[in-house]
Amino acid sequence: MEITWLGHSAVKIKGSRTVFIDPFLTGNPACPTCPEEIREADVIIVTHHHGDHLGDAFALAKKTGAVLVGIHEIAVEAQAQGVAAEGMNIGGTVEVKGVKIHMVVAHHSAEKGNATGVIVELDGKRLYHAGDTGLTYDMKLVAEFFRPDLSFIPIGDRYTMGVPSAVKAVEFLQTKRVIPIHFDTFPIVRADPQDFKRRVGSLAEVIVLKPGGTFTL
């Protein structure tokens, strides 16, 4: 399974299926690609209705024939625009094209519906994308139920956790590996991923990627 960080919170997961999470490409100064270069997707997941997460989700779903998965209000909006979409809510699970998605709590705002995190099950692996969130004890439930093989954790502060809270999140999650996200896209969310890595220490393997960088899981 190949994991690619596309800058900000945008992630591409390529295994037996190709999954995008929060595909904010257009307008993302850190993103090394553009929607025109994306030709394949099976599932597109949106954690919450903010422009830097919803991004190009609807356009990519139309272009590739991917199914969009998001909280109910996002799915309704997508369907009204002719996008194939599966709505869900926190605590629920859906399976689309052999990809299982569990929706969990995130503490953050949203223009429609609620902000969420997701656990993606694909090819025998469990990946947790926290979305935009502050530190929450609900992460201990993610650990108890899912024991993620890899977690995407925001570290950029101001709108999400900063480094100290993100380190505690790693402790709560008992995750094996972590890729920091939602930092350095704009000056307002500057953060030092190497500082995060040092503070995490032996709690988990921290994989620091540059936008466009990949990691094989």
What local confidence, expressed as pLDDT, does residue 201 receive?
A: 98
Q: Which residue's structure tokens are 């466009």?
A: 212
What local confidence, expressed as pLDDT, does residue 156 receive?
A: 98
Return the closest-CA partner of residue 71 out of 58, 88, 53: 88
Q: Which residue's structure tokens are 């899981």?
A: 217
Mean pLDDT by 10 residues, the chain (217 residues): 98 98 97 95 98 98 98 98 98 98 98 98 98 98 98 98 98 98 98 98 98 98
What local confidence, expressed as pLDDT, does residue 38 receive?
A: 96
What is the Cα–Cα distance from 149 to 36, expressed in whole angstroms?
31
Q: Do residues 97 and 64 touch, judged by C-beta distance below 8 A?
A: no
What local confidence, expressed as pLDDT, does residue 131 receive?
A: 98
The CATH class that applies to domain 2-208 reads: alpha beta
What is the Cα–Cα distance from 127 to 100, expressed in whole angstroms?
11
What are 68's two structure tokens?
């969009």
What are 70's two structure tokens?
């998001």
What local confidence, expressed as pLDDT, does residue 20 receive?
A: 98
Return the closest-CA partner of residue 3 out of 107, 123, 134: 123
What local confidence, expressed as pLDDT, does residue 114 receive?
A: 98
What local confidence, expressed as pLDDT, does residue 56 receive?
A: 98
What is the Cα–Cα distance from 9 to 121, expressed in whole angstroms?
18
